[in-house]
């Protein structure tokens, strides 16, 4: 190791250059120097140590190239257009009315031929063939309304067929929504219109079961004749009420005693004639 250090020092001094430890050939340095002279210990002491030679710095990686986001005009350039090649077109229509700044358009008024049915929720039957609901008073078309106070005669016996028909009509409705061909807005006047509950024609049901009379020249004349022949509804016999309990007799009010104590004009109490006056 000492011979290597001395040989390295002589090589550096003779050539006046700096070499690294990796460039020292240990086999060549171990051979005797030309002239037969071997370095002495004093010469070795005067030469610097190779450990003092600075090691070369580690090579640094090259800096990555920085790419600019700006478009190079020489690489990508917009096409050159003249004013004569441009043409102004009309803007497209808005996708909906909500995109417009103006007020919404008023709804279109429906004509009588366009009335496909207005639903009347929670209808009330005021008579057989007369419906009220949602501000409408609708008389079912094609039938003659049976009033609630109408009476019918059966073998000389009168009975309240109008109230009975109204009760049967209310049981048929059962609070279900009725669709009638009426205008969008109701009014105070009674409107004659066709009404349905689902696929069931209300006028047809009233006439078939005898709870209304078919109008002359209407669509239910044949059904009304069948109901009259079969004695259904108001055309039938009077209901048998013999099995029902009799109504209790109205009790007379209790008579007021004429000798009740009433205050006098001056505030004094006048006792009855059959009672003594209170002690003073």
* Helix, strand, coil distribution of the chain in percent, nearest 5: 25, 15, 60
Residue 119 forms beta bridges with which residues?
A: 179
Does pLDDT of 111 surpass 60?
Answer: no
pLDDT single digits (tens) 122-163: 999 999 999 998 889 999 999 999 999 999 988 888 899 999
CB hemisphere CA count around 198 (13 angstroms):
5
pLDDT single digits (tens) 214-230: 999 999 999 999 999 99
Of 20-34, 66-80, 245-259, which has the strongest mean pLDDT?
66-80
Element (H, E) at 168: helix 161-173
Q: CA nearest 182: which of 169, 163, 162, 196? A: 196
DSSP 80-145: P--GGG----PPPPPSSGGG-SSPPPPPPPPPGGG---EEESS-EEEEBTEEEETTEEEEETTEE-
Residue 113 pLDDT level (bands cut at 50, 70, 90): low
Q: Where are the domains of the chain?
A: 2-48, 112-235
pLDDT single digits (tens) 38-57: 555 555 455 555 555 666 67
Encoded tokens for 86: 């441009």
Residue 158 forms beta bridges with which residues?
A: 153
Q: Which residues contact 57 (CB under 8 A, 6 or more apart)?
A: none
Name the CATH topology of 112-235.
OB fold (Dihydrolipoamide Acetyltransferase, E2P) (2.40.50)
Cα(68)–Cα(66) distance, rounded to whole angstroms? 6
Total-model pTM: 0.48
CB atoms within 10 A of CB 212: 29
* CA separation, residue 94 to residues 25, 89, 99 (Å): 88, 15, 6
């Amino acid at each position: 190791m000492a011979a290597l250090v001395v040989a390295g020092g002589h090589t550096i001094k003779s050539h006046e250059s700096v070499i690294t430890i990796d460039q020292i050939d240990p086999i060549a340095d171990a051979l005797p120097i030309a002239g037969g002279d071997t370095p002495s210990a004093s010469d070795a002491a005067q030469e610097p140590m190779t450990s003092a030679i600075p090691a070369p710095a580690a090579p640094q990686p090259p800096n990555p190239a920085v790419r600019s986001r700006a478009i190079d005009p020489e690489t990508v350039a917009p096409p050159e257009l003249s004013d004569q090649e441009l043409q102004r077109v009309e803007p497209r229509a808005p996708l909906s009315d909500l995109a417009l700044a103006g007020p919404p358009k008023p709804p279109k008024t429906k004509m009588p031929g366009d009335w496909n049915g207005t639903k009347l929720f929670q209808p009330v039957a005021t008579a057989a063939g007369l419906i009220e609901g949602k501000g409408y008073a609708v008389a079912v078309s094609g039938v003659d309304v049976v009033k609630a106070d109408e009476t019918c005669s059966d073998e000389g016996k009168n009975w309240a067929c109008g109230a009975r028909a109204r009760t049967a009509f209310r049981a048929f409705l059962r609070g279900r929504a009725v669709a009638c061909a009426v205008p969008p807005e109701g009014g105070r006047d009674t409107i004659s219109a066709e009404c349905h509950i689902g696929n069931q024609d209300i006028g047809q049901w009233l006439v078939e079961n005898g709870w209304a009379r078919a109008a002359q020249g209407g669509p239910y004349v044949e059904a009304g004749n069948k109901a009259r022949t079969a004695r259904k509804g108001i055309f039938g016999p009077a209901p048998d009420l013999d099995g029902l309990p009799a109504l209790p007799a109205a009790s007379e009010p209790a008579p007021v005693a004429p000798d009740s104590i009433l205050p006098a004009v001056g505030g004094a109490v006048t006792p009855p004639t059959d009672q003594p006056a209170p002690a003073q």
